[in-house]
């Protein structure tokens, strides 16, 4: 089905493409410029423990996941699916996953953890030339040939590079200027129990952290673009949260800092410390998991550069698990025809009983109510089965907690 026919057959509720203001166009150009030339994410910001419980991945599953930084694609492999297809339109994100896969295949765990756990390796250039580079695609070779310094400590850890890493480095600089706050933040992450954690946050951190400067910084679209958040998602947050973007971020962070133990929260820990620790790191970095990946699971990974729609239209393999992240938010604003086409491709390629998870800046993304699918052109929501109670329970356990909406969906049989 073509995008044109999708739009023509859409129900009356389908919105027109969002009309861009001058500011919107400028924000979009900045985001596009950053996205088209940069590694945006150097680590994943979706909790794979939540994902794996929602997906219940089995040995026969073919999993489609948007690559991001590749951490979660590797984590899903630990459940032993038949195949994990990592797809990203940004080839730099795939270049990062290629580097990780090459390291798993050819390095010791000690060397691999130095690279992606500590974010530094004193002999990275030699390891790269001798063991990693020969395994990479031409694009990935060109990308990493120019960035070996990212692992050599000239600008700190690897996790202080790329767009999100630059924001993390700026926060580190801010904490260096406020040594008392810095000490309290580190104490928060070392708290022995949740009650101590709450007390430190409420008494020592919250009163001084959320000042006008931080609120202003978080409210800038440029900051959000550096974190990989395009302005349509920013507008979604502003529309549903009285405190705007900074208020939403504060509310989300306070839930994590007050309600969830931080000892195993490697998502925020890596940007606080600039590195992971052996006790607090993604699953793929643990010795036993690394051994399983190196022992053969890594060979079940396939990496594809392109769109989700393009991959689904080109592959003959049915997909039983879809990890769609939040990319449909911006598609619904500026490329509704392409979003319709993508859902048609998902439904056409899904196996009977397939399941998808997606995240959104909105608790109930409107596109689920207007995307038309099937020969009768019914709204998408009417064709899907939502596990809302499971999604609410898993959201409460989500160690990242930066999305207003998390949806677990069974696709029609």
Domain chopping of the chain, boundaries: 3-26+37-157+287-410, 158-273
The 10s digit of each residue's pLDDT in 202-218 is: 999 999 988 888 788 87
List the beta bridge partners of residue 277.
280
**Over residues 19-23, mean pLDDT:** 63
pLDDT at 219: 76
Residues in the chain: 413
Q: Is the pLDDT of residue 4 over 60?
A: no
Q: Is the pLDDT of residue 2 over 50?
A: no
Q: Which range, of 59-63, 157-161, 237-241, 242-246, averages the lowest pLDDT?
A: 237-241
Contact 129, 192 (CB under 8 A): no
- Among 55-64, 154-163, 373-382, top mean pLDDT goes to 55-64
Model pTM?
0.90
Of all residues in the chain, what percent carry a pLDDT higher than 90? 66
Paired tokens of 233: 């998602």
pLDDT at 3: 40
Cα–Cα distance, 241 to 236 (Å, whole number): 9
The 10s digit of each residue's pLDDT in 282-315 is: 999 999 999 999 999 999 999 999 999 999 999 9
Paired tokens of 180: 């008392």
Burial (0-12, 13-18, 19+ Cβ within 10 Å), 209:
middle
Q: Please name the CATH architecture into which domain 3-26+37-157+287-410 falls.
A: 3-Layer(aba) Sandwich (3.40)
């Amino acid at each position: 089905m073509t995008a044109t026919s999708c739009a023509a057959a859409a129900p009356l509720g389908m919105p027109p493409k969002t009309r861009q203001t001058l500011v919107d166009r400028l924000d979009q150009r900045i985001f596009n410029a950053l996205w088209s030339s940069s590694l945006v994410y150097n680590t994943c910001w979706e909790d794979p423990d939540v994902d794996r419980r929602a997906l219940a991945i089995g040995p026969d599953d073919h999993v489609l996941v948007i690559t991001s930084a590749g951490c979660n694609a590797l984590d899903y492999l630990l459940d032993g699916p038949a195949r994990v297809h990592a797809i990203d339109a940004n080839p730099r994100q795939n270049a990062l996953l290629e580097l990780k896969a090459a390291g798993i295949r050819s390095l010791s765990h000690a060397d691999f953890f130095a690279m992606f756990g500590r974010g530094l390796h004193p002999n990275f250039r030699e390891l790269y030339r001798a063991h990693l580079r020969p395994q990479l695609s031409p694009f990935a070779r060109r990308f990493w040939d120019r960035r070996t310094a990212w692992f050599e400590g000239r600008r700190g850890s690897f996790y202080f590079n790329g767009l999100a890493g630059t924001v993390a480095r700026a926060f580190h600089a801010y904490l260096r200027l406020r040594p008392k706050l810095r000490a309290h933040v580190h104490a928060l992450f070392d708290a022995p129990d949740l009650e101590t954690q709450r007390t430190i946050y409420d008494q020592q951190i919250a009163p001084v952290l959320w000042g006008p400067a931080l609120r202003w910084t978080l409210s800038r679209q440029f900051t959000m673009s550096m974190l990989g958040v395009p302005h349509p998602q920013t507008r979604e947050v502003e529309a549903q949260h009285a405190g705007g973007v900074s208020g939403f971020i504060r509310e989300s962070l306070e839930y994590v800092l007050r309600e969830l133990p931080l000892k195993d929260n490697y998502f925020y820990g890596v940007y606080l410390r600039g590195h992971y620790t052996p006790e607090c790191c993604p699953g793929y970095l643990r010795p036993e998991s690394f051994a399983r990946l190196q022992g053969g699971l890594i060979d079940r990974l396939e990496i594809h550069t392109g769109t989700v729609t393009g991959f689904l239209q080109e592959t003959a393999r049915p997909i039983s698990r879809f990890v769609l992240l939040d990319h449909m938010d911006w598609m619904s604003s500026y490329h509704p025809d392409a979003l319709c086409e993508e859902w048609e491709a998902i439904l056409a390629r899904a196996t009977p009983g397939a399941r998808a998870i997606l995240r959104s800046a909105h608790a109930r993304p409107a596109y689920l109510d207007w995307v038309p699918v099937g020969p009768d052109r019914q709204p998408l929501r009417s064709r899907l089965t939502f596990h809302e109670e499971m999604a609410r329970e898993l959201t409460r356990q989500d160690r990242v907690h930066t999305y207003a909406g998390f949806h677990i969906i069974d696709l029609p049989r």
